[in-house]
Amino acid sequence: MDRLLRDFEKRILKEIKDSHLIRGELSITTRERLQKIIDEFSGRRENE
Amino acid sequence: MSELKITIQNIGAFDTQKAFTLKKGINIIKAPNALGKTSLIKALELAILPEEELQDKGHYMHLFATDPLATATVSILSKDKTWGRKFRRSNGSLLAVGEPFYENGGKAFMVCFAVPENELINLMIRGESIKSYIEDISDSHYYDLAVKFLKDEKERSLQKLQYYRDRLFLLDELKGRMESEQKGLEELKTKLDSLPPIDHEMLVRQKKITTEYEEKYRSLSEIKRRLGELKGQFEEINHTITDLEKRITSQDALIKDIEKQHPIIDAEIEETEAKINSMESQLNKLITEQGYVEDQLNIAREVVVKRQQYKDQICHACGRPLDPEHLAKRIDYLTSRYTELGVEIKKLQGSIETLKASKRALEERKQRLMSYKDILREYKSQLQEQERKKEQTEQKIFKLEKEKENLELELKKLEQTIDKQVKELLDLRTTLEVDIETRRSRIKALQARIEELTEEIKPAEKLEKRVLFLEKALDHMEKRAKEVVTAVIKRFNERVNEIFNILRFKDFHKIEIDDVNFKVHVYRSRDGQIIKFPLEALSTSERITLAVALLIAGKHEYFPDFPFFVLDELVTSYDPTRFQKLIQYLGNVTDYVIVTSLAPEEEQELRIEYAKPSV
């Protein structure tokens, strides 16, 4: 689980860093991309 | 990477292309004011900062103010790498063409440029918390954004999940109902199975008999209903007939009464007519005679008048001599006759009127008689019709009575053949079978609903997993958001003390950034005691030295591969002795240490002095 969460952290952070913030907030497209990442990770098994 | 050639054009003080060589070690940029020391540092900033930061920091715009249409360039040439970036002003903003020289240039600038606008140096000079700086370095605000987003997502997913949980609750309820229905069905089946068996043939026969009995019973009921209706009609017809008979009798009596009074009414009318005619003829004669008498009387009266007038002795009418006596007698006679005739005429006229009235009365009676006879005929015709109906109804009643008798007989016979026990059993079976069918259909409907709901809540499992993952991810991210900050502080603390030890700066026993308020504290030895001092207690010179030491610690820790460390003269001027040591130290850990230094006014251009760090 720790590894999964670390991978998730990396992916999420990269997505946020690479995105263009609007007045310091996440844009809709970034949010959609982040949601997809969540879907992907929540579907993974813990030992993956 | 021993030498770097930096070419600059149209930036700050450099209107034309200008090239500088940086050598590994310490590069001291010397020049009097306004000859391009700061412009060279700004050119390096332009080289490393990402485009969005260049735009955010609007102050870079003024670098191109002299010629807004010109393109500025910075290029860096080394033995194994050539890099360049162009800049120009476009619609009031700065446009950069080309990637930055260093990938994480924004942060490298925060850590490796000890220039007057450096955030850490300024915070330290003011004695403020360096939280914002630590957060920028540690990316914690990205973590904060991630945490906020994950919280929102968790909330949204939980809301959705709640909907599914409600559906799940309904599903459980339906399953419970289904179980109870199935249990009920089993009970009914057991009950049905426990009923004593009926011989098949008997069952069929009984069923047939029962069906036939029911059908016939229904027919009998219908017949009874029809009979009731017909009997009602029959009574009604009888009433009508009685009524018509009464009317006929009464009408007949009226006719007879008239006929009795006037057995030969037509002859009577004719006779009266004849009498009237004869009387009228007589009346005409009398009227003619009265007219003649009146004429004669008028003549006689005229003769009398003329004789008296003309003294005539001869009648001018008949020419005979006039006899006044005779004339007087004649006038008397004529007058008397005229009066008699008048009386007779009046009398006769009265008789005629009486006869005429009598005739009219006779005619009226005749008319009434005729009408009575018409009505009588109508009644008789109606009577005939009713009697015909009566007969028909009687026939129908008779027929139905017969049918009724037959059916009653048949039903009696069937009743004798119906086995009551079997019938009861059959009824019970039928009831149970109907109940079973009803339950089955309820179970089928429930099953469909359950399947539909099961399908509907399928995403719930996935959502449940999502929520579980989000809870863990949120927890992890919140921890990490704190950890990255604490880690930065820890590393800064370790490194800065290490640097102070290496450089043998004995002023402080220990330097520490606390991880609660993010303030820098120092520990000093006083009379054998270690005392903690806040940043505000230090001199500006000490604060700046500490700030630059922290920057060097940051570079060490986070940007060991970044080739530059810039020290502006304004920063170093506070404590030249200490900064000499720091610069020497930096020369050993950084490829190119760039230090600006004010040269005497008589020097006309910018030059770079190179120095090797002492080991």
| Residue B157 clears pLDDT 70, i.e. is over it | yes
Q: What is the pLDDT of residues B45-65, one digit of tens each?
A: 999 998 878 776 656 666 665
Q: Chain B: nearest CA to A22, how far in angstroms?
A: 12
Q: Do B139 and A38 touch (CB under 8 A)?
A: no
B52, B143, B470 member nearest A38 (Cβ): B470
Query: How sure is the predictor about B577, in pLDDT bands with cuts at 50, 70 and 90?
Result: confident
Q: Chain A: nearest CA to B163, how far in angstroms?
A: 19
The predicted model scores a pTM of 0.56
ipTM above 0.90, yes or no: yes
Contact B189, B436 (CB under 8 A): yes
Average pLDDT over residues B374-400: 94
Please give the DSSP secondary-structure letter assigned to residue B4: E
Residue in A1, A11, A15, A16 to test binding to B, most B beta-carbons within 10 Å:
A16
Q: What is the pLDDT of residues B410-458, one digit of tens each?
A: 988 888 877 777 778 878 888 899 899 999 999 999 999 999 999 998 8
A8, A16, A39 member nearest B473 (Cβ): A8
Long-range contacts of B344-347 (CB under 8 A, 24+ apart): B344/B286, B345/B283, B345/B286, B345/B287, B345/B290
Q: Do B473 and A41 touch (CB under 8 A)?
A: yes
Q: Chain A: nearest CA to B181, how far in angstroms?
A: 38
Q: Do A42 and B470 touch (CB under 8 A)?
A: yes
Would you kindly state where each structural domain of chain A is located, as residue ranges? 2-42
List of chain B residues whose C-beta atoms are within 8 Å of the C-beta of residue A1: 472
Contact B400, B279 (CB under 8 A): no
Closest to B203 measured CA to CA, from B446, B458, B427: B427
Contact B267, B367 (CB under 8 A): no
| Integer Cα distance of B506 and B471 in angstroms | 49
Report the residue of chain B nearest A4, measured CA to CA.
Answer: B473
Q: What is the pLDDT of residues B247-293, one digit of tens each?
A: 999 999 989 988 888 888 888 899 999 999 999 999 999 999 999 99
List of chain B residues whose C-beta atoms are within 8 Å of the C-beta of residue A34: 149, 153
Mean of the per-residue pLDDT values for chain B?
88
| Residue A48 clears pLDDT 50, i.e. is over it | no
| Residue B473 clears pLDDT 70, i.e. is over it | yes
The whole-number pLDDT of residue B233 equals 92
Report the residue of chain A nearest B149, measured CA to CA.
Answer: A31
Query: How sure is the predictor about B392, in pLDDT bands with cuts at 50, 70 and 90?
Result: very high
A8, A26, A43 member nearest B149 (Cβ): A26
Contact A7, A44 (CB under 8 A): no
List of chain B residues whose C-beta atoms are within 8 Å of the C-beta of residue A13: 139, 142-143, 146
The whole-number pLDDT of residue B61 equals 63
Contact B42, B51 (CB under 8 A): no
| Integer Cα distance of B442 and B182 in angstroms | 10
Query: How sure is the predictor about B68, in pLDDT bands with cuts at 50, 70 and 90?
Result: low
Average pLDDT over residues B297-315: 76
Residue B393's φ and ψ, nearest 5 degrees, are -60, -40
List of chain B residues whose C-beta atoms are within 8 Å of the C-beta of residue A31: 149
